[in-house]
C-alpha cells in the first residue's frame, strides 16, 4: 500500500504484520493481544486489526460497538505507540 502526503510517498507493504501464532487459540472465548511497534508510525488500530484478522473495518467497528473488542485506547484514532486489545467471542 502506497500512501502519499505532503509530497512524501511511503510504501507500507510488508511494514507490519499481526502475528497470531498458531490458529488453535482462535476458538477461545477471550483473546488478549499486545501490539508492539519497532518505530513510531502513525496508524489506526482498527485498520491493523481488520487486516490482521481478515475482517472488514466495518466488522471491527461493529465488534467495538457491541463490546466484543475492547481496549484502553481509542481503536479508531491514530496511534504511534504500543497498545493492547481484547477480543471476546
pTM of the model: 0.71
pLDDT(72) > 80:
yes
84 phi and psi angles, rounded to 5 deg = -130, 155
- The three cell numbers of residue 14 are 510488508
Proportion of the chain above pLDDT 70, given as a percent: 69
Could you list the beta-strand ranges (E) of the chain: 2-5, 8-11, 30-35, 69-70, 83-88
Mean pLDDT value across residues 12-34: 67
Amino acid at each position: 500500500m502506497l500512501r502519499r502526503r505532503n509530497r512524501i510517498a511511503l510504501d507500507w507493504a510488508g511494514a507490519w504484520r499481526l502475528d497470531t501464532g498458531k490458529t488453535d487459540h482462535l476458538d477461545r472465548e477471550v483473546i488478549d493481544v499486545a501490539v508492539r511497534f519497532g518505530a513510531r508510525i502513525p496508524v489506526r488500530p482498527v485498520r491493523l486489526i481488520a487486516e490482521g484478522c481478515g475482517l472488514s473495518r466495518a466488522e471491527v467497528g461493529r465488534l467495538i460497538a457491541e463490546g466484543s473488542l475492547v481496549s484502553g485506547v481509542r481503536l479508531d484514532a491514530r496511534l504511534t505507540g504500543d497498545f493492547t486489545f481484547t477480543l471476546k467471542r
